[in-house]
Amino acid sequence: MCILEMFDDEDEDIHRLLAKRSINTLSVINMTTRRSFMPKVTDYMAVVGQMAVPQHIDDFKMHYRISRDVFHIILESVQDLLIRGGRGPHDTVTPEKQLLIIRWPSPRQQTEIATEVEAVCSLPGVTGFIDGTHIRLSAAIGGERDYYNRKGYPSIQLQAVVDNNMKIINAYTGWPGCVHDARVLRNSSVYIKAEAGELFSQNYHIFGDNAYPLRNWLVTPFKNFGNLTRQQIQFNKRLSGVRQTVERAFGHLKGRFRRLRDVPLHDHKEVCNLIIACCVLHNLCIINEDDVEGYIEYEEEDPNNFPNVYQNGHAGVLRRLQLVNIP
């Protein structure tokens, strides 16, 4: 069964946004699935194509030879597979299917990430980078004002933690655009599990920006009121330099899946499913080293880039002080 049958050599937009190696991996995953109600391979690519290149509603039949109603049935089925994997008692997670799972790195993987990051910025123990981005909506869901962010457009927030290769290791979405990044964090599983000591090996942490509170597992830059020492300024430069990885990841995510630049859906769950499914497919592209640099549009400043409103943890202050004193 050929997953490329819906594309020809002239459909270059899709080929550039989602390279053949990633498409072939989707084909392998489909063939290892035993669920009788799974859509056909051609239906997979209708969904991926819609995520990557938005089409007017009248173009459905011309481009995909399916009606709008059929498309949304397929969309729901495929997103559910990407997000949750198999549900039956006999389903197994094959090595191919594991590529589509957003998962936190193991202790061994954390060590590998930290070693690679330290080689770049000379700061030890860094296993990832956290930030939030706003997924623009065509209209506020239910007309609710809470979906409008500080810049005046409706959005849903996506919080992501990425590794040094821009692979998403945690994705959390669903909060309306008006909510502060720190509040999103405090309600996420990353915060809850990290505070309980369940996520990080000893002396490991992630980097974030000043919207987040300092914790022993989350390190942010010093606020510059004109009184920073030379060491503190140097630390900020090192941190900010490597933390751009998560900003680049968001650029790649929205560059590949342009539907995320303006989501026309009106159901909250459908929007969240779309966002997470795109995150999963983003990881697949990263693993297969798909290159879309020419199509990336990096974001403007975060619409809700307010200062941190939560108290810094004492252990986080000490952790940052230790890092500052590293030559």
- Full 3-state SS string of 157-197: EEEEEECCCCCEEEEEEEEECCCCHHHHHHCCHHHHHHHCC
What's the rounded Cα separation, in Å, for the pair 136 and 177?
Answer: 9
Residues 6+ apart with CB under 8 A from 325: 231
What is the pLDDT confidence band of residue 56, given thresholds at 50, 70 and 90?
low
Helices of type H across the chain? 12-17, 20-31, 41-52, 60-64, 68-84, 95-98, 107-121, 181-186, 189-195, 230-256, 268-287, 314-324
DSSP code of residue 210: T
Could you tell me what percent of the chain has a pLDDT over 90?
48
> Phi and psi for 91 in degrees, rounded to 5?
-70, 140
Q: Tokens at residue 56, please? A: 């007017």
Distance CA 112, CA 110 (A): 5
pTM of the model: 0.76
Residue 5: band (very low, low, confident or very high) from pLDDT cuts 50, 70, 90: very low
The whole-number average pLDDT for the span 163-174 is 94
Joined tokens for residue 266? 């009106």
Q: Which residue would you say has higher pLDDT here, 4 or 24?
A: 24
Q: For the ranges 73-87, 106-120, 133-147, 205-219, which has the lowest average pLDDT?
A: 73-87
The answer to whether the CB of 44 falls within 8 A of the CB of 5 is: no
